[in-house]
A and B are shown apart, each in its own frame.
Chain A
Amino acid sequence: MSFDVGAVRGQFPILSEIIDGKPVHYLDNGASAQTPIAVLDAVRTYETTGRANVLRGVHRLAERATDAYENARVEVATFLGVAPMEIVFTGGCTAAINLVAYSYGSLLKPGDRILLSELEHHSNIVPWQLLRSRAGIEIDMIPVTVDGRIDLEKLPDLLTRRTKLISLAHVSNVTGALVDVGAVVAAARTVGAKVMLDGAQKAPHGPIDLPSLGVDFYVFAGHKAYGPNGIGVLWAKAELLDAMPPFMGGGSMIGRVTFAETTWAPAPRRFEAGTPPIGPAIGLGAACKWMRVLDWTGAHAHEMTMVQHLMDGLQKIDGARIFGPSGLQNRYPVVSFMLEGVHPHDVAQTLDSFGVAVRAGHHCAQPLMDRFDLDGTTRVSMAPYNNGGDIDALLTGVRHAAKTLR
């Protein structure tokens, strides 16, 4: 049976909005995805029937809240194929990377090396630069190929015995390219390095079997994966979490506090200081459950059909050029392009007048823009609820921009 886009769209109330007389063509999913009714209901249920703080209270509402919060952890763990106690809720994906950079980073020694790539989001660059300033570690960088993929042929030459961690985007937020995780993990093992994946752009495209990937850390954002904002996930192998010191101090993350000495709670509590984002976590749990039951084989085929439709349409527009993989293999539905003579912001602003929402600019990947001497790109990022009408509206808008702005 073919993928029923209409049935999926019907679960996202915002897609039926009319704004300034135009339907919503939401193609900025890479920035934030929309939220289905199942997630809204889960958050509403918590807020209206079980709102309380978690873990500490003995009253019934506290028990409801704690159950819902811990069930969300189980849902996220199931989505990733891992144990619930290896799931740490954070304030977001950036917060999760900073947690690793601070906590795991504190175990590193001056001269140890972190290997990143040229296409990383700033959130997977700057925390390591902060660590470099604090701890004297070194940062190496894997270059990118002309079609916007991490050039893994360069990987062996960049690995050293001092390389302790390779941290890469699972899917590029600019080019949509999927990294060859198997090759990265195999190379990392030759020098004993750990591997972390930034799954911000991968998690919104279905469940992930982390044990089969063989990585050591995985992070993703709730709001890009159909969940609320203000919630993110860090997964790490239990032995790593056990070895890592706390990132932030406060309530809930302690064993026993005295003025002389404080001991830490075991993971994941050790990394969840203070009152966690309870409602957002519950919403993310619902989002993971929603994603688990979606037909991802059909959804992915549908997404790639839209990618092909988009690329075919752009190729017919004079001066439009795709930045990223030209094919459909090993990619996800994030497509960047440039329109010669028109700045990406002006393309995006014009598209807005057609009811089309996209992102334009450097996409928090300035080193990648510098590498290709780009002012920025216009980025189309799709989700399973998008349809051919969204792409048609976008192509109409790009043609209009080409005609009127140059």
Chain B
Amino acid sequence: MSDQLYQDRIVALAKTKTGAGKLANPTKSARRDNPLCGDRVTIDVRLDGQGRIAEIAHQVRGCLLCQASASALSSIAVGRDAAGIAVARHDAERAIGREQGEAAEPFSAFAPVAAHKARQECVLLPFEALKDALS
């Protein structure tokens, strides 16, 4: 069952570490913890004058799913505002089976997580942190 969870696309997303690190002068930052498992995500964003993300960086102390999600999120975040990130979250929620419909790339990679309810929060934690940063 778990072998199917760690499919190549998820492992590859985690290993790309897109956006991993810190921003020197972030406009906003937010940290979210998952109290159940202890995973922690910190997200820095630099915003343009219209509230759109110009630059993003994340630090993840968490599992491979959380790392992969943070990478995927960072890869599509630039140019989006809070509403645009909410759209991406719907894709992630569709991928993990919490919403109906087909998930757009790159979030479709998380489809195997649909069968692992206990791990779904790992995928959503970076979205929670970014939502806080943009609020």
Binding site for B on A (CB under 8 A): 20, 342-346, 349-353, 361-362, 366, 369, 375-376, 404-405
Please give me the residue from chain B that is nearest to A22 by CB atom. Answer: B1
Contacts of B67 in A (CB 8 A): 343
Contacts of B2 in A (CB 8 A): 349-353
Please give me the residue from chain A that is nearest to B40 by CB atom. Answer: A375
> A343-B63, A353-B3, A375-B61 given. 4 additional CB < 8 A pairs?
A344-B63, A352-B2, A353-B2, A361-B38
* Beta-carbon contact of A405 and B122 below 8 Å: no
Contacts of A405 in B (CB 8 A): 6, 11, 64
Tell me whether A349 and B62 are in contact in the complex, defined as CB-CB below 8 angstroms, given that A20-B1, A361-B38, A376-B38 are known contacts.
no
- Assess whether B78 is interfacial by the CB under 8 Å rule: no
A20 to B1, CA, bound (A): 8
* Beta-carbon contact of A345 and B122 below 8 Å: yes
* Beta-carbon contact of B1 and A345 below 8 Å: no
Closest 10 CB pairs of A and B: A353-B2, A345-B63, A343-B63, A362-B38, A349-B2, A346-B64, A353-B3, A361-B37, A352-B2, A346-B63
Contacts of A352 in B (CB 8 A): 1-2
A379 to chain B, nearest CB (A): 13
| Interface bits B28-62 vs A (CB < 8 Å: 1, else 0) | 00000000111100000000000000000000011
Please give me the residue from chain A that is nearest to B15 by CB atom. Answer: A406
Please give me the residue from chain B that is nearest to A352 by CB atom. Answer: B2
A405 to B3, CA, bound (A): 10
B81 to chain A, nearest CB (A): 31
A334 to B34, CA, bound (A): 25
* Beta-carbon contact of A345 and B6 below 8 Å: no
Please give me the residue from chain A that is nearest to B4 by CB atom. Answer: A353
A178 to B63, CA, bound (A): 30
B38 touches which of A349, A353, A366 (Cβ 8 Å): A366
A311 to chain B, nearest CB (A): 24
* Beta-carbon contact of B64 and A343 below 8 Å: yes
Interface centre among B37, B62, B122 (most CB of A within 10 A): B37
Give the residues from 56 to 88 in chain B that come closer than 8 angstroms, CB to CB, to chain A.
61-65, 67
Contacts of B1 in A (CB 8 A): 20, 352-353
Tell me whether A350 and B6 are in contact in the complex, defined as CB-CB below 8 angstroms, given that A343-B63, A345-B122, A405-B64 are known contacts.
yes
Contacts of B9 in A (CB 8 A): none
A7 to B1, CA, bound (A): 31
Please give me the residue from chain A that is nearest to B11 by CB atom. Answer: A405
Contacts of B63 in A (CB 8 A): 343-346, 349
B15 to chain A, nearest CB (A): 9
* Beta-carbon contact of B116 and A349 below 8 Å: yes
A194 to chain B, nearest CB (A): 31
Please give me the residue from chain A that is nearest to B8 by CB atom. Answer: A404
A375 touches which of B11, B38, B65 (Cβ 8 Å): B38
